[in-house]
Amino acid sequence: MEALQSLLEMKAWSKKIHDQDLKIGFVPTMGALHEGHLSLVQQSKARCDRTVVSIFVNPLQFGPQEDLEHYPQNLEKDFELLKKEAVDVVFVPKPKEMYPEGFQTMVELSQLSQSLCGKSRPASSGESNRPTHFQGVATVVLKLFNVVSPDQAFFGNKDFQQRVMMDRLVKDLHLDIEIVACPIVREKDGLAMSSRNVYLSFEERQRAAVLYRALQHGKKLFWAGERQSSKIIAQVTEMIDKENPKHIDYVCMCDAETLEEVFEIHKPVLLAVAVHFGKARLIDNMLLYGDH
């Protein structure tokens, strides 16, 4: 396994691999790796000749009140996990090289970024020149795509909005990259795996398991024939409220492709939640479609 920091080194490695007509799979991460990330790596290794994993805590996607300075990082452990998965390259670029002095170009998806986490994670806080959360995400992913030059890039459906945005980004900018959506990986009690789960106390961790139960309850209501979003949302919200979260950012039903809010269900929709337990902001979702 090679560890690369320089953008030029990463580009040279990718060119060498493509010159051999080999396919590169790419898993972009912010580190603090867990089984969810490793499942993406395994998908890449199964489908591609070479696999690159990036580790970069992107400052542009953190709001002024968010956890950039305290975001969990453990490069040594991450490297050990990736060695076990026989990853070919770990790309760990330096912030000063990713965002050199004078950097001012931002990437924005004007519609998909407005719902769900786009509403509840404004990064400006009155600073008109500060990028929004999803401007930061789209900008860093496009930069990483340009440096790594992958044939396929792997994203988990826990960050469903981000994955849909990457589909749109690739289509709109005519990038020769296939976005591969991968299923959510969960703990035994259903809690979606997340780097931020380490923020949870034991008691908060127990209560946070309600998110999956609430989503399942919403899906059961849908299977039973309920098609009014407001009724499903009300019951899901009530279940979560009973576990005394610090704050519910949203419980939302939206179109699975456009992410626009849906009030009456006639096609596949996404039931999505974002909830604070203690210091952790947790997101999760479930697709509702079919009759049962």
Sheet holding 24-29, edge to edge: 2-4, 89-91, 50-55, 24-29, 152-156, 178-182
In single-letter form, the type of residue at position 191 comes to L
- Three-state DSSP class for residue 263: coil
**CA 38, CA 123: separation in Å to the nearest integer?**
29
175 DSSP 8-state letter: -
How many other C-beta atoms lie within 10 A of the C-beta of residue 289? 12
SS3 201: coil
Residues 6+ apart with CB under 8 A from 45: 25, 51, 85, 86, 87
Nearest one of 77, 73, 75 to 91, comparing CA atoms: 75
Number of CB atoms found within 10 A of residue 181's CB: 14
Contact predicate 159/114, CB 8 Å = no
Instruction: Check 37, 70, 247, 266 and give the catalytic one.
Output: 37
Query: Catalytic: 37?
Result: yes
d(CA 113, CA 110): 6
**Amino acid, res. 115:** S
What is the signed CA dihedral for 141, 142, 148, 152, rounded to 10 degrees?
A: 80
Please list the active-site residues.
37
